[in-house]
Structure 1
Amino acid sequence: MRRWWFVCGIVVLLLTVLAAGVLPVLAGTQQRITVTEQFVAPNGKIEKKAVRVPCPPKRVVVLGAYPAEMMKALGVEKAVVAVDNHTKEKTQWPEYVVKLPDVGSSSTPSVEKIIALKPDLVIEAFMKPGLRSQLTRAGIPVLRIYGYKTELIPTEIRTLGLAFGCRARANDYAAYIEKQWSTVRERTGKLSPRQKPKVYWESSLGDWKSHGPGSGAHPLIEWAGGTNICAGQDFSYPTVTPEWVAAKNPDVIIKYLKREQAGWTVKGTKEDLQKLEDLRRQIMSRPALKNTKAVKNGQVYLISDLITCAPQGAAGEYYIAKWLHPELFRDVNPEAARKEMLEKFYGEELKGVWVYPPLK
């Protein structure tokens, strides 16, 4: 009997030691979970892949302005230790990115700089596969989050919510975006093909570079009640010819521009607006476009990339819908929708000019 009590005492002592020493270590160990990342092939088809990530990540390198924006909206931006140079130097939004070091371009970052920062996660949108492999071999998980593929945005937000342990906030954010899109689609859902204006959407990457299926702009055009003239293209981002666009004779032309191309966060002075007007006139004066319905009817618009193929595209979609179907969206104030989104999820006020010409 004494021996039995002695054994029990030893067991109790061991359990006490474990509870005092080992268990706290285990409790402090970072949990890992499996999430699903989305990959969009050049033909627009979506492939899925399981990725093991820490939960929550404590040191994150973010390569891309839109994932950086999502981090801000989810309230986990303090975990970001570095960004890509374009986000830091060109986009400069959200403002927290300006104070962070950069690790080079988003597609070809410096692996050495990333490793030196000791991140427990890298978030990327289009990093070269070879560089991604180098990071994973170094033991650093990599998660693809586009942030500009419209149809994937709510899913990607919820994926980040899982990884960062903020599911409720992520669901609110994603649901808000989905609600705005649903409002637009409900109003345009019964339009016949003949009622849908033909749209030529030109990329910020250069003249005659457009958007087909699989791009962020394609669903925005369709949901707003338009017909994308590049819908039949085999690539998500086709380069078209001036003659081809002229033959399609679009009813509406939309050019989306990056901040550095148009100065979208300006205050709206006469000089600022003149710059936008000059850009618009350059498009309208192209020989191949001069005789299109869009130019003849003045249906040529400029819009910021931050409010189109982006999380804030949920508010930007109202501008597009109002351009295509002003009668259906007579009661909608796109500026008010964007103001609400900025205040609700980013804690910021609406500033600057983001579309041109301004809505009347």
Structure 2
Amino acid sequence: MCKITHNCKVVWSCLTISILVITASVPCLGEESEYPMTITDSAGRTVSIPSAVQRIIVLSTDHAEAVTLLGVDDRIVGVSDNLKSKPEHFPRLKNIQGVGKWNEINFEMIGEIARKGDAIAPDIIVLAYTYPDKPYGAAAVAKGVEPFGNITVVGLDFYRPENLTRDVTILAKILDRDAEARRYLNWLNVSRERISEAVEGEESPRVYFESNSKGGLGSLATYGMGSGVDEMIERSGGLNIAADLKEMYPKVTWEWVVTQNPAAIIRIQSSDKLGWDKPPSGDTIALGMIRNEITGRAGGDEMPAISGENVHIIYWDMMFGMDSVVGQTYLAKVLHPDADLHPEDVYSEYLQFMGLKMPDDRIFVYPSRDAKR
């Protein structure tokens, strides 16, 4: 293990400077939004917004969260179908027309929603991921809606922690919601700084972070260099054992994991609900089975993570996107149980931005250990 030192803060300061350089072409918060507006989206595309945006189509839960947090979810007129399975997250969007899956978009439906009478008024935008080589990336989506005319596509991600400031600032300028963006970004920065201060000087445990084991023990999905999770582990006071792997989302074998001797194992798991039901519940039975499969893998008995009972499952939905600092706080608390951090308070604060209340009957880390008030 090594200790988290001031050098780590220097790294994050350099990252912040890099982000500022990248976003130099983005209008600053506080400037009045004027239309037509020209912005550079996160896909590097020059996009013209012809008039004030009155209607929004969101192609992912990340986009829906961002629009909701900025207080204009009443402008959403179309959603990706997967939002329908998360009514607790988006109660006000459950009856909005679907436009296909996030990766299988129904362009005809988008055109139908956009149409007002016989024409399409240019007051509508579609929020898409950036991915330049994917059919659901902004460039491909723009091509798909081009035949209809007057539908503007903006590429924003919101899922990478290092790009959140840029993405939120761009969207806030487009929607003229600067005050809401400033409020969120101030909270985000304070929450991040609180984590940095809490883990300063602590030993950095080696962490194996598993996405899934669908490919079996010979093809375990993890996160490598340049991934958002790699950054999150470091910011949470840990050392990612896959950080030196050149692929962003590598596959590794369990034998390799054993040779890396991690002190902590983290597995992420999703849920259609806001967290998992507290024990005893069907949720915790299922989580227990996942954890038992990990701890029972051959050759892991002497691994510090397993012998020290430091194997945890963390709620997937809070690890990426607008609430990623919530996931980071929970992760930091798992890695450093004695740190002065209160993850549930941070989550409650975030849910207030979303117009939601923190549920009393849910957990977000299994086993809960000290990641609670």
- TM > 0.5: yes
1:322: Cα distance to partner?
1.4
| Cα pair distance change 1:183/1:296, threshold 3 Å | same
1:288: Cα distance to partner?
5.3
Aligned-partner Cα distance in 1 for 2:226–2:309: 28
Match of 2:295 among 271, 284, 292: 284
Match of 2:250 among 234, 238, 254: 238
Match of 1:332 in 2: 341
Larger Rg: 1
Contact 1:54-1:121 within 8 A present in 2 as well: no
Contact 2:198-2:341 within 8 A present in 1 as well: no
1:358: Cα distance to partner?
1.1
Match of 1:123 in 2: 127
Match of 2:80 in 1: 84
| Cα pair distance change 1:298/1:269, threshold 3 Å | closer
Match of 1:341 in 2: 350
User: Aligned runs of 1:24-173 on 2, under 5 Å?
Assistant: 31-39=35-43, 48-54=44-50, 56-89=52-85, 93-118=89-114, 120-125=124-129, 126=131, 127-128=136-137, 129-136=139-146, 138-139=148-149, 140-173=151-184
1:298: Cα distance to partner?
0.9
Contact 2:224-2:244 within 8 A present in 1 as well: yes
Percent of counterpart pairs with the same letter? 26
| Cα pair distance change 1:338/1:90, threshold 3 Å | closer
Match of 1:17 in 2: none
Residue identity in the other structure for 1:310: G
Match of 1:223 in 2: 235
1:254: Cα distance to partner?
0.9
Aligned-partner Cα distance in 2 for 1:163–1:238: 36
| Cα pair distance change 1:302/1:54, threshold 3 Å | farther
1:266: Cα distance to partner?
4.2
| Cα pair distance change 1:174/1:353, threshold 3 Å | same
Secondary structure, aligned partner of 2:126 = strand
Aligned-partner Cα distance in 2 for 1:52–1:176: 30
- The structure whose residues are more often helix, as a share, is 1
TM-score by length of 2: 0.78
Secondary structure, aligned partner of 1:72 = helix
Residue identity in the other structure for 1:122: V
Aligned-partner Cα distance in 1 for 2:99–2:356: 27
Residue identity in the other structure for 1:225: G
Aligned-partner Cα distance in 1 for 2:37–2:226: 28
Q: Deviations for 1:153-173, whole angstroms, at most 9, x for unmatched residues? A: 122111111010011111111
Aligned-partner Cα distance in 1 for 2:177–2:125: 16
Residue identity in the other structure for 1:100: I
Aligned-partner Cα distance in 2 for 1:103–1:156: 23
* Unpaired runs of at least 5, structure 1: 1-29, 40-47
Secondary structure, aligned partner of 2:294 = helix
Superposition RMSD on alpha carbons, in Å?
Answer: 2.3
* Unpaired runs of at least 5, structure 2: 1-33, 115-122
Q: Which deviates more, 149-158 or 179-188?
A: 179-188
Match of 1:273 among 284, 287, 298: 284
Contact 2:348-2:357 within 8 A present in 1 as well: yes
Residue identity in the other structure for 2:257: V
| Cα pair distance change 1:130/1:164, threshold 3 Å | closer
| Cα pair distance change 1:196/1:123, threshold 3 Å | same
Contact 2:223-2:229 within 8 A present in 1 as well: yes
Contact 1:36-1:49 within 8 A present in 2 as well: yes
Aligned-partner Cα distance in 2 for 1:185–1:55: 41
